[in-house]
């Protein structure tokens, strides 16, 4: 066992993997990691809709794509600890099939089917414009898992507080439902995380948070909510599809270990640059108007002992 800079200890087998982004096929990397070593995994895989990536071919047959998803999801299940959690981002095309694979074949248990509603979706002439992504929230054990419901960074002001200014509202706020929402025209006035549709805008080209080298960048506030809710400090957060590196960046800011895999050398190098530029305790990019923010309770206030 080795000493962790986050406090506690990590196994020697795991120590060589953590706090690194690895270049190469995620399946090979996942197969090489020790079983039961990960607390939380977040996966935003290619949607198989013909998106142009640097190296990956995003246009497989349905059968080939689902077999590939089954392979990497099986490895993630192996890597998760008995009380581990998996979040999967997916578009409309395959989310139903993946939900069945995850719950009926791989043994995961679905806790929530979150809808992230974003703006800046493409305008369509022949159909309704797409403006959402599905986020499947799953656990290995339906009785034993991490969910930090009391964390003020997760709780949002209730409508009674925010709209009606009613003193009877719970001063601790409420947990968001499974629709997450934030319109750019509403920022920075409110986070608006009111339902099981999370309405957080995509990282648009005009956003300060935008990195520019990857077309599918996730907002830090989305990853922040997931990592705060489903892991503790010094836990290990896995991302099989690093992309722009947001998962690793947010994990580091929130004082978690991270492990990630990226097939593109260019994406991996740029993601590493992002990770090196941030420090534990740094604020997340984007608007945060949780109950904790209104009370001035930042992550540094609550977590300073570990660093």
pLDDT per residue over 158-191, tens digit each? Answer: 766 666 666 776 778 888 888 877 544 434 333 3
* Residue 5 counted as domain residue: no
Structure tokens at 225: 């909510």
Which DSSP state fits 50?
-
Q: How distant, in Å, are the alpha carbons of 47, 151, 235, 249, 286 from that of 297? A: 37, 10, 22, 21, 17
Separation CA 299–CA 297 (nearest Å):
7
Which DSSP state fits 306?
G
* Residue 8 counted as domain residue: no
* Residue 307 counted as domain residue: no
Say whether 222 sits in a helix, a strand or coil: helix
- What CATH number should be reported for the domain holding residue 101? 3.40.50.150
Tell whether pTM > 0.85: no
Domain count, the chain: 1
pLDDT per residue as tens digits for the range 242-272: 999 999 999 999 999 999 999 999 999 999 9
Average pLDDT of every residue of the chain: 80
Q: What is the pLDDT of residue 142?
A: 98
* Residue 169 counted as domain residue: yes
Domain span including residue 139: 13-301
Grade residue 210 by pLDDT with cuts at 50, 70 and 90. Answer: very low
Separation CA 41–CA 268 (nearest Å):
18
Q: What is the pLDDT of residue 182?
A: 52
Per-residue pLDDT, averaged over 279-297, amounts to 72
Please work out, in degrees rounded to the nearest 5, the angle formed at the alpha carbon of residue 273 by the alpha carbons of 232 and 59: 85
Q: What is the pLDDT of residue 131?
A: 74
Grade residue 49 by pLDDT with cuts at 50, 70 and 90. Answer: confident
| Strands 109-117 vs 38-43: parallel, antiparallel or unpaired | unpaired
Grade residue 211 by pLDDT with cuts at 50, 70 and 90. Answer: very low
């Amino acid at each position: 066992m080795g000493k962790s800079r986050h406090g506690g200890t990590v196994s020697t087998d795991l120590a060589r993997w953590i706090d690194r982004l690895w270049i190469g096929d995620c399946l090979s990397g996942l197969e090489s990691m020790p079983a039961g070593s990960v607390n939380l995994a977040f996966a935003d895989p290619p949607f198989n809709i013909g998106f142009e990536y640097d190296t990956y071919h995003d246009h497989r047959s349905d059968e080939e794509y689902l077999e590939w998803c089954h392979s990497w999801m099986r490895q993630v299940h192996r890597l998760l600890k008995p009380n581990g959690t998996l979040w999967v981002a997916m578009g409309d095309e395959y989310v139903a099939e993946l939900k069945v694979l995850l719950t009926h074949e791989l043994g995961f248990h679905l806790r929530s089917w979150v809808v992230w509603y974003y703006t800046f979706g493409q305008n369509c002439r022949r159909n309704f414009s797409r403006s959402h992504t599905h986020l499947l929230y799953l656990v290995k054990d339906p009785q034993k898992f991490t969910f930090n419901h009391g964390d003020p960074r997760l709780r949002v002001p209730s409508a009674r507080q925010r709209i009606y200014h009613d003193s009877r509202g719970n001063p601790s706020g409420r947990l968001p439902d499974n629709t997450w929402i934030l319109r750019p025209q509403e920022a920075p006035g409110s986070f608006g995380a009111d339902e099981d549709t999370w309405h957080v805008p995509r990282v648009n080209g005009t956003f300060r948070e935008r990195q520019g080298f990857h077309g599918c960048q996730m907002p830090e506030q989305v990853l922040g909510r997931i990592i705060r809710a489903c892991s503790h400090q010094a836990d290990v957060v896995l991302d099989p599809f690093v992309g722009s590196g947001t998962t690793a960046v947010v994990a580091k800011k929130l004082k978690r270990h991270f492990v990630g895999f990226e097939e593109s050398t260019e994406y991996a190098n740029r993601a590493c640059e992002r990770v090196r530029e941030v420090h534990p305790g740094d604020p997340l990019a984007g608007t945060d108007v949780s109950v904790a923010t209104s009370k001035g309770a930042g992550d540094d206030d609550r977590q300073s002992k570990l660093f």
